[in-house]
Amino acid sequence: MNMAQHTLDTLKDQLLFVPLGGSNEIGMNLNLYHLDGKWLMVDLGIGFADDYLPGIEVILPDIDFIAERRKDLLGLVLTHAHEDHIGAVSYLWDELKCPVYATPFTASVLRYKLAGEGLSPRSIPVTEVNAGDTLELGPFGLDFISLTHSIPEMQAIAIRTRHGTVMHTGDWKLDDAPLVGPVTDEAALKRYGDEGVLAMVCDSTNVFVEGRSGSESGVRDALVSSIAGCKGRVIVTTFASNIARVESVMKAAQAAGRHVVLAGRSLFRVVEAAREAGYLKGVPDPLSDKEAAGLPHDQILILCTGGQGEPRAALTKLVQGNHPVLRVAAGDTVIFSTRVIPGNETRVRWLKNQLVRHGLHIITDKDADVHVSGHPAREELRQMYQLVRPQVAIPVHGEAAHLAEHAKFAREMQVPEVVVGYNGAVMHLCKGQSRIVDEVHSGYIAMDGTSMIPVNSPVIRMRRKLRDEGNITISLVVDDTKRLLSAPQITAPGSLDSQEDEALRHALEEDVSRVFDSANLRKATVHSLTEKVRNVVRKRVQEELGKRPVLEVHLHQIQ
According to the 3-state scheme, what is the secondary structure of 28-52?
Answer: CCEEEEEECCEEEEECCCCEECCCC
User: Of 257, 246, 249, 247, nearest to 296 (Cα)?
Assistant: 257
Q: What residues form DSSP beta bridges with 392?
A: 199, 417
Q: Which pLDDT score, from 0 to 100, does residue 266 have?
A: 87
In degrees and rounded to multiples of 5, residue 38 shows phi and psi of: -105, 155
DSSP state of 251: H
Rounded distance between C-alpha atoms, residue 271 and residue 289, angstroms:
16
Per-residue CA distances from 309 to 47, 248, 372, 408 (Å): 16, 22, 19, 34
Provide the phi-psi class of 153: left if phi over 0, else alpha when psi is between -120 and 50, else beta.
left
Rounded distance between C-alpha atoms, residue 182 and residue 460, angstroms:
45
In degrees and rounded to multiples of 5, residue 414 shows phi and psi of: 65, 25
Count the Cβ atoms, other than its own, within 10 Å of residue 116: 14
User: Of 48, 40, 50, nearest to 19 (Cα)?
Assistant: 40
CB 161 within 8 A of CB 360: no
Letter for the amino acid at 39? W
Strands 259-263 and 425-428: unpaired
- Assign 77 to helix, strand or coil: strand
The pLDDT profile of the chain, 559 residues, written as one tens digit per residue, is 576 788 888 899 999 999 999 999 998 999 999 999 999 999 999 998 877 888 888 999 999 999 999 999 999 999 999 999 999 999 999 999 999 999 999 999 999 999 888 888 788 999 999 999 999 999 999 999 999 999 999 999 999 999 999 999 999 999 998 998 889 999 999 999 999 999 999 999 999 999 999 999 999 999 999 999 899 999 999 998 899 999 999 999 999 999 999 998 889 899 999 999 999 988 889 988 888 888 999 999 999 999 988 888 899 999 999 898 889 999 999 999 998 877 778 889 999 999 999 999 999 999 999 999 999 999 999 999 999 999 999 999 999 999 999 999 999 999 999 999 999 999 999 999 999 999 999 999 999 888 899 998 999 999 999 888 889 999 999 888 888 889 999 988 888 876 777 888 889 989 999 888 866 677 788 888 999 999 999 999 999 888 899 999 999 988 7
Q: What is the DSSP string of 122-136?
A: TSS-EEE--TT-EEE
Q: Which pLDDT score, from 0 to 100, does residue 312 have?
A: 82
Per-residue CA distances from 234 to 223, 227, 327, 334, 361 (Å): 11, 7, 11, 6, 9
Which strands form 259-263's sheet, in the order they lie side by side? Answer: 259-263, 300-304, 234-237, 333-336, 361-363
Count the Cβ atoms, other than its own, within 10 Å of residue 263: 24
Rounded distance between C-alpha atoms, residue 9 and residue 6, angstroms:
5
Q: What is the DSSP string of 332-390?
A: -EEEE-S-PPTT-HHHHHHHHHHHHHTT-EEE-TTTSS----SS--HHHHHHHHHHH-E
Q: What residues form DSSP beta bridges with 134?
A: 143
Q: Which pLDDT score, from 0 to 100, does residue 3 have?
A: 66
Q: What is the DSSP string of 456-469?
A: TSHHHHHHHHHHHH
- Residue 392 CB partners (closer than 8 Å, separation 6+): 198, 199, 200, 415, 416, 417, 418, 419, 429, 431, 434
Per-residue CA distances from 391 to 269, 275, 301 (Å): 41, 41, 50
- Assign 400 to helix, strand or coil: helix
Rounded distance between C-alpha atoms, residue 476 and residue 513, angstroms:
10
- Assign 248 to helix, strand or coil: helix
Count the Cβ atoms, other than its own, within 10 Å of residue 348: 20
pTM, 2 dp: 0.90
Q: Which pLDDT score, from 0 to 100, does residue 519 have?
A: 64
Per-residue CA distances from 296 to 87, 234, 264, 291, 325 (Å): 38, 12, 22, 11, 15
Which strands form 126-128's sheet, in the order they lie side by side? Answer: 126-128, 100-102, 73-77, 38-42, 30-35, 16-21, 425-428, 435-439
In degrees and rounded to multiples of 5, residue 266 shows phi and psi of: -65, -30
Q: What is the DSSP string of 272-334?
A: HHHHHTT-STTSPPPBPHHHHHTS-GGGEEEEES-TT--TTSHHHHHHTT--SS----TT-EE
In degrees and rounded to multiples of 5, residue 280 shows phi and psi of: 60, 40
CA-based angle 175:181:185, to the nearest 5?
Answer: 60
CA-based angle 100:22:443, to the nearest 5?
Answer: 90
Burial annotation 1-14 (CB, 10 A radius, 16+ → b, else e): eeebeebbeebeeb
Which residue segments constitute the domains of the chain, with CATH numbers given?
A: 3-211+374-454 (3.60.15.10), 216-363 (3.40.50.10710), 470-557 (3.10.20.580)
